[in-house]
Chains A and B, each alone.
Chain A
Amino acid sequence: MTSLFCFTTPAPLLISLAIEQSHKTGGDCIYVDFDDQTHAVLKQSQLSPTPIRATDHSNWRQRDTAFKEIAMPGILDFPIPSTELPVWQVISLDRLNFFYRGNAQKEYELITALRWDVACIPLDIHHPLPWKLARNHRVVGVQAGPLRTREMRDMLTTHIHFTSLIVETAQDMAFVNKYGYQSRIYQEQTA
């Protein structure tokens, strides 16, 4: 069974798990990263990740249009009175747009083109890719920072179907279990 480790961030728990899984399966693992900084950290941990770099070549208009299709369907398709400036273009300057990554879909397509059975993803609130993968595939979520925050709670209560969650402490486990997830605390394997 091939495991995919998707490093949107170099989370220590995910790195430990990747090394452990590599030992267990004789290297039947795929590691992918999305930025050079993470790539360097993984190399230091003796992992050989595949760099996924989906450069977005669209211009601002194409980017804003793509953002609108995802985040603002329909209702804002009218211009500000006495101008030709659509309302959605103004609204899309807000912070939601700031966090929008035009290349996330391309990254998703590249990853799903690979052959793997289960993906281990970080619970990374700052990157859309892990959550998109979790919605459509068999995925194990791995803690990648504080879990007991408002934004994580909001994400977890949208009932994403993780096969299981791997967390750091008993309190984190109690927290995720409260929202109906199956979880376990990571314990490093001793040789």
Chain B
Amino acid sequence: MDTKAESTKNKLRDALGVIHDLPVAMIYYESATQFEFLALLPQIAEAYYKLLIVPASTIAERQLKTIIGGFIRNSGAIITDLSFADAADAILAFRYSPALQGMQVQILDPLGRWLSQELAS
């Protein structure tokens, strides 16, 4: 990673109160993918020190607070938009979304339930 990108990343992490050297993931969360999110959360939480969760809508945000409010207080943070993406080491989503276009996103849709490959092409 070049120095400028590194510096941006560190500044964003400072703003979020996240330690510089530990692994951080950003998760784009849509209500429709609640099942995949909950099923994979233990694995993801084990691999990353902090999860920055971006809800796709206000409904998704309310839902997140209801289902994993406690977890978010300890190991995550809800971020209102994708502008903090540079603070993360990886961006994760559970299906293809046009909102993530142009970003390097790891789509976790192994069974193809959401037809991510078809929709992205």
Contact = CB atoms under 8 A, between A and B. Distances in A.
Interface in A150-183: 150-151, 153, 171-172, 175
Decide if the interface of chain A is mainly helix, strand, loop or mixed. helix
B25 to A, nearest CB: 22
A146 B115 contact: no
A148 interface: yes
Give the interface size class of chain B.
10 to 19
B67 to A, nearest CB: 15
B32 A146 contact: no
Contact of A153 (B97, B98, B119): B119
Interface string A16-59: 00000000000000000000000000000000000000000000
A146 B97 contact: yes
Contacts of A151: 32
A150 to B, nearest CB: 5
Contacts of B97: 146, 149
Contacts of B114: 149-150
Contact of A146 (B98, B113, B118, B120): B98
